[in-house]
Structure 1
Amino acid sequence: MEKVTSADGTPIAYDRLGDGSPVILVCGGSVDRMSNASLAALLAENHTVYNYDRRGRGDSGDAEVYAIEREFEDLDAIFALAGGSAHLYGTSSGAALALLATASGRPVNRLALWEPPYILEGTRQRPPANTADIYREFVAAGRRDKAAEYFMAEVVGLPAEFVAMAKESPWWPDQEAIAHTLAYDATIMADYEVPTDAIAKVTVPTQVLSGGASDDWMLKSNQAVVEALPNGSHRVLPEQQHNVDAAVLAPALKEFYR
């Protein structure tokens, strides 16, 4: 693990693996870079992989005030390490971040997105517009546990039985430790509508990947993202769900980045 300093002085931790054309991995909500560790190891067979902790989680630092632009600047620091440009991969809300970063003009060669969780009207209920504020209020009140519960139950829509089991699991303290970053991902997702204006600015080759066993609303929204892309394609990985198997995903990414 190494660290690089972002524009606002925040230290950003990353792992560098392998050798070849560079790939940067962006994790999703409620996790740190360890969620992409298996994928990073597999991609490192063909690429130089930069697997970093987004600010506020893992070994990275944070700032008092959050803004999406600070996450763009964190990526800028990783792009500089990679030689000025790189392929980019994002998963879940991290895919939305990667998409917006590319739209903002970051030096992305090829962009791959795993199931950005936008929600089309009428396919499922969207989280409340003030979801980021809800997380912040829980954290400010010292109820990080409630923020993590709200994410799992009300935003992701996991069954109450799973949430109860999660609270008894050895990894639950890790969820509470990064509960403040849930507001960051809620800010990125905004109203969960497909951001067609931003997507129209993404001209680099982009592939949206979905799981064949994922919910129908996810497949439909992913297809809507592809349709809004100037240079996009859609690939469905059979039998996969949102928690994709790295051994299945890695070959698809290698093929796309090649």
Structure 2
Amino acid sequence: MATVTSRDGTKIGFEQVGTGPTLVLVDAAGGFRGFGPMGSLAQRLADRFTVVTYDRRGRGESGDTLPYTVEREVEDLAAVITAGGGAAFVHGFSSGAALALLGASAGLPISMLSLLEPPIALDQSPQEGDLAAEIDELVAAGRRADAVEHFHKSIGVPPEMVAGMRQAPFFPMLEGIAHTLAYDARITPAVSHATLQSVTAPALVVNSESSDDRLRGWAAGVAAALPQGRHLPLEGEWHGVSDDVLAPVLADFFGGGARGASPR
């Protein structure tokens, strides 16, 4: 593991594997290098790319300078891209995909994007309430377990999955980073139609064929709004696509953009 210093002085932990053009993976809510799908995906792509995984602020080995702002997370991504060589392909999952879009819109040197089920509802009215504030309130009251459960219920995780969450062996870890769920709840609403229109990099928007209509529709809507967006449904489970299916698709997509690029 290495660290890079973000603009506000926060240390961000990252690591890289493989050789080739740089590909940065951006985790979803609750994910970091020690938990989630990005580690195994990185290994599957390491024969074609220098794959960078990192701990988003407040998770794993990264710091968490307060007060939190979405702009600081964009600066974290910028620092990781710089540490990886100064320009990169970027793959983001869920709210990590939203963060990647914000980074591209802000002018970070992202040459191509892949986005797995970005939870961005362009054609729907804003949800009632303030999920980020609700998470903040529960965490401040010491109710971290309730904060984790409330977040997942609010974003539409199927009830049968939420029901067994507290008994899962990884639940104490989720409690420990419960405050960062409010960060994700702030990132996703920050992506607007204007944000998407400003992203000129080629973008592949992927969804699982087994996700619900809402997630599939959001993916299609984001792809349609991006100037160079392409929508691709893949075989998978609810809100997820296995490495066996996803890795070859990403290798082909980014590999097309990498032709002529010099290996690191």
Q: TM-score range by the shorter chain?
A: over 0.9
TM-fit CA distance, 1:109: 0.9
Indicate how the Cα distance of structure 1 residues 199 and 254 shifts in structure 2: closer, same or farther if over 3 A, else same: same
Indicate how the Cα distance of structure 1 residues 238 and 6 shifts in structure 2: closer, same or farther if over 3 A, else same: same
- Aligned match of 1:45 in 44, 47, 57? 47
2:196 is matched with 199
Q: Deviations over 1:88-132 (max 9, x none)?
A: 01000110110111011110011110000123556xx96434110
Aligned residue for 2:90, secondary structure, equals: strand
TM-fit CA distance, 1:189: 1.4
Q: Deviations over 1:44-65 (max 9, x none)?
A: 1110011000000111111121
- Aligned match of 1:103 in 91, 102, 105? 105
- Aligned match of 2:211 in 211, 214, 226? 214
What are the ranges of 5 or more consecutive residues in structure 2 without an aligned counterpart? Answer: 256-264
Give runs of aligned pairs for residues 234-253 of structure 1, distance below 5 A: 234-253=231-250
Distance in 1 (CA, whole Å) between partners of 2:113 and 2:197 is 14
Contact 1:26 1:94 in 2 (8 A): yes
Distance in 2 (CA, whole Å) between partners of 1:55 and 1:144 is 18
Contact 1:127 1:155 in 2 (8 A): no
What are the ranges of 5 or more consecutive residues in structure 1 without an aligned counterpart? Answer: none
1:81 is matched with 83
1:29 is matched with 29
Aligned residue for 1:170, secondary structure, equals: coil
Q: Percent same amino acid among aligned pairs?
A: 43
TM-fit CA distance, 1:240: 4.1
Contact 2:78 2:103 in 1 (8 A): no
Indicate how the Cα distance of structure 1 residues 165 and 118 shifts in structure 2: closer, same or farther if over 3 A, else same: same
Indicate how the Cα distance of structure 1 residues 45 and 241 shifts in structure 2: closer, same or farther if over 3 A, else same: farther
Root-mean-square deviation (CA, aligned residues, Å) is 1.7
Amino acid in structure 1 at the alignment position of 2:107? G
Distance in 1 (CA, whole Å) between partners of 2:203 and 2:214 is 21
The worse-fitting range, judged by mean Cα deviation, of 230-239 and 83-92 is 230-239
Distance in 1 (CA, whole Å) between partners of 2:202 and 2:6 is 27
Distance in 2 (CA, whole Å) between partners of 1:243 and 1:232 is 20
TM-fit CA distance, 1:238: 2.3
Distance in 1 (CA, whole Å) between partners of 2:154 and 2:73 is 25
Normalized against structure 1, the TM-score is what? Answer: 0.93
Aligned residues: 253
Distance in 1 (CA, whole Å) between partners of 2:214 and 2:126 is 11
Q: Deviations over 1:204-229 (max 9, x none)?
A: 11110111111111111211111111
Distance in 1 (CA, whole Å) between partners of 2:142 and 2:127 is 22
Distance in 1 (CA, whole Å) between partners of 2:102 and 2:127 is 20
2:71 is matched with 69
Distance in 2 (CA, whole Å) between partners of 1:44 and 1:89 is 14
Distance in 1 (CA, whole Å) between partners of 2:169 and 2:127 is 28
Contact 2:6 2:79 in 1 (8 A): yes
Matched, 1:133 2:133: yes
2:142 is matched with 142
Contact 1:6 1:73 in 2 (8 A): yes
Moved over 4 A (4+): none
Q: Deviations over 1:140-186 (max 9, x none)?
A: 11111110010122223331x43332111211101101100011000
Normalized against structure 2, the TM-score is what? Answer: 0.91
2:175 is matched with 176
